[in-house]
Amino acid sequence: MVESQTILERARHFLQLEAQAILDTAKSVNDRFVAVISAVQTTADHGNKLVLAGLGKNAGVCQKLVGTFNSIGVSSTFLDPVQAFHGDLGVCRNGDLAFVLSNSGETREVLELIPLIQRQGVKTVAVTSEEESGLASSCDLLLTYQVNEEACPLNLAPTASTTATLALLDAVAMVFMESRKFTREHFARLHPSGSLGTTLLLHVEEIMRQGDRFASVQSNQSVSESIMEMTRAKAGSVAIVDSKDELAGIFTDADLRRATLVDPDVFSKPIDEFMTKDPITVEKGTLVADALKVFEESKIDDLLVVDPQNKPVGMIDSQDLPRLRVI
């Protein structure tokens, strides 16, 4: 039985090998990468698609990347180089862009695929570790990654090479995504199902406490009256509004504890003496995903929702979020 310490040391060693491949690849990117981004942009602008082709372990890499590109609005499909010779070549259309993967750049079935898809009017991008390979010289564009050693102890099984390939093409996807100013709302439209889709598609007014469940008082009301309003709404805070019903502040359980320590007569005094002024807010219409980011960055328990006139319309209580399944 191998000792636990030895297992952990070997695990770290293999992870470091794969991490090094990504770091080396990051250092090697050059103007060829820029040319590939331009080609992806042209393909998307003309309503064409990306085709990802590879054999063996690279087939799995391709299928993952198809999912990534589709998720950011770039139509993509996988092409098995072997099946391409038996009818699947029909997925290729004039104007498409094909990423063709081979670590050695000399895989026979992959090399034989290149002229076939090029005849269909498909532009090709070689993705390989070998800059002087047959694949590199046959394709229109080239992306190379750097792998000095596979993580496999025998230096045979594709490990660091597939990791570097995936990271390099993920970088293509993310740079393209940034260039298109792809927003959370764009992402949400393509991810309507499951927890991720639910969180991204909802707006704050769909989950906030409002009506009888929203605690609100005038700024000239007493602390005692404010606490009664919080109790009525079963809330941990109350919104304070001025004479124009615009937001003046917020009063929380934490504010109450602090106030009682400095003033024993706090309950009879106006709430505006103890409220937190200029509280953090989000506007009505904000995506829940953006509201969650505010919670994370500000370390608050309650988040007020206001309308364009800065009038509070509701409150998001962080304790409600797990029940609503948005975190």
Per-chain mean pLDDT for the chain: 92
Q: What is residue 193's predicted lDDT score, i.e. its pLDDT?
A: 65
Q: Which residues pair with 143 in a beta bridge?
A: 127
**What are the residue boundaries of the structural domains of the chain, listed by start?**
4-181, 204-324
pLDDT exceeds cutoff 80 at 293: yes
CATH number of 4-181: 3.40.50.10490
CATH T-level topology, domain 204-324: CBS-domain (3.10.580)
**Structure-token match 């050695």, residue found:** 104
pLDDT exceeds cutoff 70 at 258: yes
Q: What is residue 321's predicted lDDT score, i.e. its pLDDT?
A: 82
Q: What is residue 198's predicted lDDT score, i.e. its pLDDT?
A: 67
| Residue 187 amino acid letter | F
Q: Could you give the strand order of the β-sheet that contains 237-241, starting from the edge strand earlier in sequence? A: 216-218, 237-241, 247-252, 276-277
Q: Do domains 4-181 and 204-324 have the same CATH topology?
A: no
Structure confidence by residue, pLDDT tens digits, 48-87: 999 999 999 999 999 999 999 998 889 999 999 999 999 9
Least trusted range by pLDDT, from 11-20, 105-114, 149-158: 149-158
Q: If DSSP codes are grouped into helix, strand and coil, which group holds residue 57? A: helix
Q: What is residue 255's predicted lDDT score, i.e. its pLDDT?
A: 92
Q: If DSSP codes are grouped into helix, strand and coil, which group holds residue 203? A: strand
Would you place residue 128 in the very low, low, confident or very high pLDDT band (cuts 50, 70, 90)?
Answer: very high
State the Cα–Cα distance between residues 58 and 55, nearest whole angstrom.
Answer: 5
State the Cα–Cα distance between residues 38 and 36, nearest whole angstrom.
Answer: 5
pLDDT exceeds cutoff 90 at 308: yes
Q: What is residue 85's predicted lDDT score, i.e. its pLDDT?
A: 93
Would you place residue 120 in the very low, low, confident or very high pLDDT band (cuts 50, 70, 90)?
Answer: very high
Q: What is residue 200's predicted lDDT score, i.e. its pLDDT?
A: 67
Q: Which residues pair with 99 in a beta bridge?
A: 52, 125
Query: The dihedral of CA 71, 73, 77, 78: what is its sign?
Result: negative
pLDDT exceeds cutoff 80 at 42: yes
